Amino acid sequence: MIDVDESTQVAFVAADEQKKRELSHLVSVFLGSAWEKKNLIEVMEEIADNGQKRGLTPEILEALLADE
């Protein structure tokens, strides 16, 4: 269980299963990347690097983010 504000909780509950899986994956990456030794920017950079290695481009990311 992760404490979040009410609007975040409502948005998560309303999200489709794909969005929930994506968020769960992001949380797993964050918590599984020696997060206690890194700040948020370092973790975000690591996530971005992993995305680029897997073929994520700025255009694909923009399309994913626009798909709400």
Place of tokens 């370092």: 42
- What does the pLDDT read at residue 6? 92
pLDDT digits (tens, 9 = 90+) for 4-51: 899 989 998 999 898 888 888 878 777 776 666 778 788 788 888 888
- What pLDDT does 10 receive? 92
The domain segmentation of the chain, as residue ranges, is 6-66
Rounded Cα–Cα distance for residues 10 and 64 (Å):
21
Determine contact, residues 43/30, Cβ cutoff 8 Å. Answer: yes
User: What confidence score (pLDDT) does residue 31 get?
Assistant: 74
What's the pLDDT at 67?
65
Residues 53 and 7: their CA atoms lie apart, in Å, by 33
Q: How high is the pLDDT of residue 35? A: 64
CA distance to 7, 52, 56, 63, per residue, from 59 (Å): 28, 12, 8, 6
